[in-house]
Amino acid sequence: MTDPAVFVTGASGTVGASVVEELLARGSRVVAAVRPGGDPGRLPQGAVPRQFEFGATPAGHAEALQGVDRLFLMRPPPIEDVRTYLFPLIDAAVAANLTQIVFLSLQGVQGNRKTPHHAVEQYLRQVGAPYTFLRPNFFMQNLSTTYRVGIRDHGEIFLPAGRSRTAFIDARDIGRVAAVVLTESGHTGKAYTLSGEQSISYRNVAEILSGVLRRPIRYNRPSESEYLARLAADGQPPDYIDVQKMIYRIVRWNISAFPNRQVRMLTGRPATTFHQFATDYRAVWE
Q: Using CA atoms, how far apart are residues 145 and 256, in angstroms rounded to an integer?
A: 20
Same domain, 130 and 156: no
Q: Per-residue b/e over 130-142, b at no fewer than 16 CB within 10 Å?
A: bbbbbbbbbbbbe
Percent of the chain with pLDDT over 90: 83
pLDDT of residue 114: 77
Q: Using CA atoms, how far apart are residues 39 and 20, in angstroms rounded to an integer?
A: 16
Residue 179 lies in a domain: no
Span 185-243, pLDDT tens digits: 999 999 999 999 999 999 999 999 999 999 999 999 999 999 999 999 999 988 888 88
Contact 119, 82 (CB under 8 A): yes
Q: Please name the residues in contact with 78: beta carbons below 8 A apart, sequence gap of 6 or more.
A: none
Q: Using CA atoms, how far apart are residues 203 and 30, in angstroms rounded to an integer?
A: 40
**Helix/strand/coil for 250:** helix
H helix intervals, the chain: 14-25, 58-64, 82-85, 87-95, 116-126, 148-154, 171-183, 202-213, 224-233, 238-252, 262-267, 274-280
pLDDT of residue 39: 78
Q: Specify the CATH number for the domain of residue 242.
A: 3.90.25.10
Same domain, 24 and 39: yes
Q: Specify the CATH number for the domain of residue 80.
A: 3.40.50.720
Same domain, 52 and 78: yes
Same domain, 111 and 156: no
Same domain, 106 and 157: no
On the question of pLDDT at 69 being above 70, the answer is yes
Q: Using CA atoms, how far apart are residues 167 and 180, in angstroms rounded to an integer?
A: 22
Same domain, 34 and 61: yes
**Helix/strand/coil for 180:** helix
Residue 266 lies in a domain: no
Contact 227, 244 (CB under 8 A): yes
What range does the domain containing 71 cover?
5-136
Same domain, 155 and 70: no
Same domain, 95 and 156: no
Instruction: Give the DSSP letter string of 69-101.
Output: EEEEEE--TT---HHHHTHHHHHHHHHTT-SEE
Strand 30-34 vs strand 200-201: parallel, antiparallel, or unpaired? Answer: unpaired
On the question of pLDDT at 115 being above 90, the answer is no
Mean predicted lDDT score pLDDT of the chain: 94
Backbone φ and ψ for 191, nearest 5 degrees, come out as -130, 125
Same domain, 130 and 145: no
Same domain, 152 and 102: no
Residue 186 lies in a domain: no
Same domain, 147 and 118: no
Q: How confident is the model at residue 1 (pLDDT cuts 50, 70, 90)?
A: very low
Same domain, 115 and 10: yes
Which residue, among 26, 272, 249, 51, has the nearest Cα to 172 in the 3D structure?
272
Report the first-to-last Cα separation within the chain, whole angstroms.
Answer: 49
Residue 173 lies in a domain: no
Span 116-151, pLDDT tens digits: 899 999 999 999 999 999 999 999 999 999 999 999
Count structural domains, the chain. Answer: 2
Question: Judging by beta carbons within 10 Å of its beta carbon (0-12, 13-18, 19+), is residue 258 exposed, middle or buried?
Answer: middle
Contact 51, 34 (CB under 8 A): yes
pLDDT of residue 45: 87
